[in-house]
Amino acid sequence: MRPSLLDPLFASLKALSGIGPKVEKLFARLLGRDDAPPRVLDLLFHLPTGTVDRRARPKLRDVIPGTVATVAVTIDRHRPSPPHRPRAPYQIYASDETGDLVLTYFSARRDYLEKLLPVGELRYVSGTTGSYDGTLQMVHPEHVVSEADLAKLPLVEPVYPLTEGLGLNQVRKAVDGALTKIPMLPEWQDEAWLKQQDFPSFVEALQHLHRPAELSDVRPESPAWTRLAYDELLAGQLALALVRAHQRRQPGRGSSGEGMLRAKVIAALPYSLTPSQGRAVDDIVTDLARPQRMVRLLQGDVGSGKTVVALLAAATVIEAGRQAALMAPTEILARQHLATIAPLAEAAGIRVAILTGRDRGRERSETLDRLAIGDIDLVVGTHALFQDEVAFRDLALAIVDEQHRFGVHQRLALARKGEAVDMLVLTATPIPRTLVLTFFGDMEVSELREKPAGRQPIDTRAVPLGRIDEVVGAVGRAIGEGHRVYWVCPLVEESETSDLAAAEERFAQLQQHFGDRVDLVHGRMKGAEKDRAMARFSAGETQLLVATTVIEVGVDVQAATVMVIEHAERFGLAQLHQLRGRIGRGSEHSTCLLLYRSPLGETAKARLNILRETEDGFRIAEEDLKLRGEGDVLGTRQSGMPGFRLAHIEFHGKLLPAARDDAALVLSRDPELKSPRGEALRNLLYLFERDEAIRLIQAG
Binding residues for ligand ADP (CB under 6 A): 271, 273-274, 277, 300, 302-308, 428, 452-453, 554, 556, 585
Beta bridge mates, 444: 296
Rounded to 5°, angle at Cα 340 from 334 and 344: 130
Question: Which letter does DSSP use for residue 201 in this model?
Answer: P
Separation CA 651–CA 29 (nearest Å): 26
Q: Which is nearer to ligand ADP, 247 or 307 (CB)?
A: 307
Q: Which is nearer to Mg ion, 64 or 269 (CB)?
A: 269
Q: Which is nearer to Mg ion, 51 or 538 (CB)?
A: 538
How many other β-carbons are positioned within 10 Å of the β-carbon of residue 627? 20
- The strand ranges marked E within 543-669 are 544-547, 560-565, 590-596
Separation CA 352–CA 249 (nearest Å): 32
Beta bridge mates, 399: 326, 424
How many other β-carbons are positioned within 10 Å of the β-carbon of residue 105? 21
Q: What are the C-alpha distances in Å from 368 to residues 49, 168, 393, 421?
A: 48, 49, 10, 19
Q: Which is nearer to Mg ion, 138 or 298 (CB)?
A: 298
Q: At its nearest, how many Å lie between ligand ADP and the CB of residue 586?
A: 8
Separation CA 412–CA 451 (nearest Å): 31
Interface stretch with Mg ion, choices 19-27, 130-138, 551-559, 682-690 (CB under 5 A): 551-559
- The strand ranges marked E within 60-184 are 68-79, 90-96, 99-105, 122-132, 135-139, 143-145, 156-159
Residue nearest to Mg ion (CB): 554
478 binds, among ligand ADP, Mg ion, none (CB under 5 to 8 A by kind): none
Interface stretch with Mg ion, choices 92-100, 244-252, 444-452, 552-560 (CB under 5 A): 552-560
Q: At its nearest, how many Å lie between Mg ion and the CB of residue 306?
A: 5
Total of chain residues touching Mg ion, rule CB under 5 A: 1
Q: Which is nearer to ligand ADP, 552 or 662 (CB)?
A: 552
| Residue 89 interacting with Mg ion (CB under 5 A) | no
Q: At its nearest, how many Å lie between Mg ion and the CB of residue 541?
A: 24
271 binds, among Mg ion, ligand ADP, none (CB under 5 to 8 A by kind): ligand ADP
Q: Which of 48, 236, 554, 653 binds Mg ion (CB under 5 A)?
A: 554
Which amino acid, 540?
A: G
Q: At its nearest, how many Å lie between Mg ion and the CB of residue 522?
A: 21
452 binds, among Mg ion, ligand ADP, none (CB under 5 to 8 A by kind): ligand ADP
Cβ atoms of 700 and 249 closer than 8 Å: yes
Which amino acid, 172?
A: R
Q: At its nearest, how many Å lie between ligand ADP and the CB of residue 583?
A: 12
Residue nearest to ligand ADP (CB): 305
617 binds, among ligand ADP, Mg ion, none (CB under 5 to 8 A by kind): none
Q: At its nearest, how many Å lie between ligand ADP and the CB of residue 620?
A: 15
Q: Which is nearer to ligand ADP, 374 or 452 (CB)?
A: 452
Q: Which is nearer to ligand ADP, 139 or 273 (CB)?
A: 273
How many other β-carbons are positioned within 10 Å of the β-carbon of residue 535? 15
Separation CA 181–CA 357 (nearest Å): 38
Q: At its nearest, how many Å lie between ligand ADP and the CB of residue 354?
A: 17
252 binds, among Mg ion, ligand ADP, none (CB under 5 to 8 A by kind): none
Longest dimension (CA), the chain: 96
1 binds, among ligand ADP, Mg ion, none (CB under 5 to 8 A by kind): none
Interface stretch with Mg ion, choices 58-66, 188-196, 549-557, 565-573 (CB under 5 A): 549-557
Q: Which is nearer to Mg ion, 141 or 554 (CB)?
A: 554
- The strand ranges marked E within 347-403 are 352-355, 378-381, 395-401
3-state secondary structure labels for all residues of 6-69 = HHHHHCEHHHCCCCCHHHHHHHHHHCCCCCCCCEHHHHHCCCCCEEEECCCCCCHHHCCCCCEE
What are φ and ψ of residue 432, in 5° steps? -55, 145
Interface stretch with Mg ion, choices 154-162, 286-294, 546-554, 625-633 (CB under 5 A): 546-554
Q: At its nearest, how many Å lie between ligand ADP and the CB of residue 445?
A: 15
277 binds, among ligand ADP, Mg ion, none (CB under 5 to 8 A by kind): ligand ADP
Q: Which is nearer to Mg ion, 158 or 554 (CB)?
A: 554
585 binds, among Mg ion, ligand ADP, none (CB under 5 to 8 A by kind): ligand ADP
Q: Omega before 58 cis (within 30°)?
A: no
Cβ atoms of 157 and 51 closer than 8 Å: yes
Q: Which is nearer to ligand ADP, 273 or 658 (CB)?
A: 273
Q: At its nearest, how many Å lie between Mg ion and the CB of residue 17?
A: 49
Q: At its nearest, how many Å lie between ligand ADP and the CB of residue 640?
A: 24
Q: Considering only CA atoms, which of 229, 34, 125, 329 is closest in space to residue 645?
A: 229
Q: At its nearest, how many Å lie between Mg ion and the CB of residue 663?
A: 31
- Give 692's Cβ-side CA count (13 Å radius): 17
Beta bridge mates, 380: 326, 354
Q: Which is nearer to Mg ion, 432 or 554 (CB)?
A: 554
Q: At its nearest, how many Å lie between ligand ADP and the CB of residue 637?
A: 24
Cβ atoms of 658 and 192 closer than 8 Å: no
Q: Considering only CA atoms, which of 459, 474, 490 is closest in space to residue 596?
A: 490
Q: Which is nearer to Mg ion, 60 or 448 (CB)?
A: 448
Residues that bind Mg ion (CB under 5 A): 554
